[in-house]
Amino acid sequence: MDSTRFDFWQYFQGVKHLSRLFCLFIACMAYVCTLHATHYRAGEIYYETIGPQTIRLTIVTYSKVSDQSAAADRDSLLLNWGDGTQELVLRSNGPDLDFNGIPDGVIIGDDVKLNQYTAVHTYPGVSTYVVSMLDQNRIDDIINIAGGAGGSVNIAFYVEDSIFYRDPNIFGSNSSPVLFNPPIDYANVQDTFLHNPNAYDADGDSLVFSLISPLQAPGLNVPAYVNPDQIIPGANNSFTINPRTGELLWATPQQVGIYNIAILVEEYRNFDGVAVKMGTVIRDMQIIVVNEPNDPPQLASIADTCITAGDTLVLNLSATDPNSSDVVTISANGAPIIDFPDRTAFSAVPGNPATATFAWATICSDISAGEYQLIFKAEDDYVSVSGTPVPLVDIESFLVKVVPPRPTGLQATVLGNDITLTWDAPYACETSDAFQYFTVYRRYGCGVGSFGCNADLASIGYEVVGTNITASSFTDIDVPSGHEYSYVVVAEFFNQQASPNAPAYNAVSSVPSDEACVVLPLVDPIITNVDVVSTDASSGEVFVRWRRPLADSTALDTLAEVGPYRFEVYGEAAFTPAPGVLRNAS
């Protein structure tokens, strides 16, 4: 099934006040009459912060529409806001085919309907809220719930989000991550199954994925749940999730049937190196395993990357299918495509092989501490003997991090033992809301060259010599003589609330500038060795060795310091004559 973006934040429009009251009455009656019907396949809940302690929330469900499930179609759902209040929320997507004033949802695949229910709510204060939806019932014949054999038809469907409302003056606002790939997919017996929910967090928070049991009520797992790999278990049956990308890998399904799983998505915000949990989302997902004489296509692998804001990312993709008669189509989905349609381009040529090209022109506002995820999917056009499309797919989960560009034009000027650094102004992303200041690093020795996205300056000897610099210059004062130095400048980005002492979060550093190298010549003699040759009150001897200062034209101004030149050695307190008295000269 093709990846499709759905408008999770769509309002229900076009129904006047009295009509809405009438519709709500009809919805309530329908809700009561179909209380124990069966139709749920999958679903989740999303929310977006739109004001102080105010969210716009959407319940998203995927339902069966054939047979008895048609009678269970829901024009409304009862939403528990988690603060002691409930609300019956009307469906808000699709055409109104039955002319009752309430949209009817959208058919998106074979016996699958997408339903969205949107509402706005203001919470009473800072706290933790669990917003949830419970309804009857799941579809029948889910083989890894309630022992299979139709037991799932009597099990409730339940999804929830945890909203950690923290002080916004310190922690900022938060919206839940959004999962762009629909939670219904096909697998084939004995073929590796891959699926990625294609998660995106608009706040730049880090996401962690894990598998949990589907739920039938708050804190209550569905009965007799087993992971898919426990249906005919063995060495060739493993079901796992990548905690970083959310990619599901089932190698390989062993039995035909309908399976449901649940994915827990936890979001964390990095505050000065401390991960603070901001919320959770639970997705209830359905996998339909078939046994067809078909093999999935194969999409050529692509490596994750990092790109500097202002550069254009270009990816060339290709896919083949071992079934020569199958036509493969490559599709793309992900946050850059959804959020930046005017700066991304995707073109595909179906075939076997199939090809595609993706391009993204990045700008400063794309800079993020997290990574953007793109999902590329190769899908065949297989149709079963019965005439039902049963496409198989291969996916590539591609992560790209957009980092701030390097400061440019770094130059170093020496004056005595002070080194003044200057760089180009204005900095390319200086007007970005997240830009804060520059940091200057120094190390002994030159020849490092240019840096990439993930430069670890400390590991190659660089130390911070200046930070919180808002100008395009910095002077390193009283630098020790006799060494060659390398300097680089880094631009620092992070978010921070206006409240005093609010911690920084989601920090990211730019690519380091090209190095500026200077030699600070040795203009003073340096004592390298002192040795007591003999001890005597009147004729003791001490041997002193020093390193000569540089005396070429770059280190000694012979016009200002006219020769002849000599070294003068002075005694210390234990010597006679008194300290500070010239001992010798040559």
What is the per-residue pLDDT across 381-400, written as a single tens digit (0 to 9) for each? 999 888 888 889 999 999 99
Q: What pLDDT digit, counting tens, does each position of 7-38 carry? A: 333 323 333 333 343 344 444 444 444 444 56
User: Quick one: which of 164, 170, 182, 184 has its CA closest to 266?
Assistant: 164
The pLDDT confidence band at residue 116, using thresholds 50, 70 and 90, is: very high
Strand, coil or helix: 551: coil
Residue 85 has pLDDT above 90, yes or no: yes
pLDDT of residue 287: 97
pLDDT of residue 568: 79
pLDDT of residue 573: 57
150 vs 48 pLDDT, higher one: 48
Residue labelled with tokens 């809301």? 433
CB environment 216-226: b (16+ within 10 A), e (fewer)? beeeeebeebe
Please list the residues that pair with 265 across neighbouring strands: 209, 281
Sign of the Cα pseudo-torsion (387, 138, 28, 5, in order): negative
| DSSP letter (8 states) at residue 407 | P
Strand, coil or helix: 78: strand
In this structure, are residues 507 and 492 in contact, taking their beta carbons and an 8 Å threshold?
Answer: yes
Distance, in Å, from the CA atom of 342 to the CA atom of 358, rounded to the nearest integer, reads: 13
Please list the residues that pair with 418 across neighbouring strands: 415
C-alpha triplet 47, 53, 59: angle, nearest 5°? 20
The pLDDT confidence band at residue 556, using thresholds 50, 70 and 90, is: low
Domains 298-403 and 411-520 belong to one CATH topology: yes
Residue 519 has pLDDT above 80, yes or no: yes
Share of the chain above pLDDT 90, in %: 65
Instruction: Give the CATH fold of the 411-520 domain.
Output: Immunoglobulin-like (2.60.40)
φ, ψ at 33 (rounded to 5°): -65, -30
Q: What pLDDT digit, counting tens, does each position of 405-463 carry? A: 999 999 999 998 899 999 999 999 999 999 999 999 999 999 887 888 888 999 999 99
User: Quick one: which of 77, 39, 78 has its CA closest to 286?
Assistant: 39
Domain 298-403 has CATH 2.60.40.10: yes
386 vs 314 pLDDT, higher one: 314
The pLDDT confidence band at residue 369, using thresholds 50, 70 and 90, is: confident
pTM (2 d.p.): 0.78
| Mean pLDDT along residues 243-254 | 95
pLDDT of residue 460: 93
What tokens does 217 get? 């009520």
The pLDDT confidence band at residue 342, using thresholds 50, 70 and 90, is: very high
Q: What pLDDT digit, counting tens, does each position of 257-290 carry? A: 999 999 999 999 988 788 999 999 999 999 999 9
Residue 523 has pLDDT above 70, yes or no: no
558 vs 280 pLDDT, higher one: 280
| Mean pLDDT along residues 194-222 | 94
Q: Residue 338 class from Cβ within 10 Å (0-12 exposed, 13-18 middle, 19+ buried)?
A: middle
6 vs 222 pLDDT, higher one: 222
Distance, in Å, from the CA atom of 540 to the CA atom of 532, rounded to the nearest integer, reads: 8
Sequence ranges of the domains in the chain = 1-182+199-227+263-281, 298-403, 411-520, 526-585
Residue 478 has pLDDT above 70, yes or no: yes
pLDDT of residue 502: 79
Please list the residues that pair with 270 across neighbouring strands: 275
Residue 583 has pLDDT above 80, yes or no: no
165 vs 551 pLDDT, higher one: 165
Residue 572 has pLDDT above 80, yes or no: no
Residue 187 has pLDDT above 60, yes or no: yes
C-alpha triplet 441, 447, 449: angle, nearest 5°? 75
Q: What pLDDT digit, counting tens, does each position of 483-507 carry? A: 899 999 999 999 887 676 778 888 8
Strand, coil or helix: 106: strand
360 vs 536 pLDDT, higher one: 360
Q: Which of 2-11, 203-212, 336-345, 487-496 has the lowest mean pLDDT?
A: 2-11
pLDDT of residue 15: 31
What tokens does 289 get? 């395993």
Q: How many residues does the chain have?
A: 586
Distance, in Å, from the CA atom of 211 to the CA atom of 121, rounded to the nearest integer, reads: 29
The Cα-based distances of 31 to 25, 28, 257, 580 in angstroms read: 10, 5, 30, 100
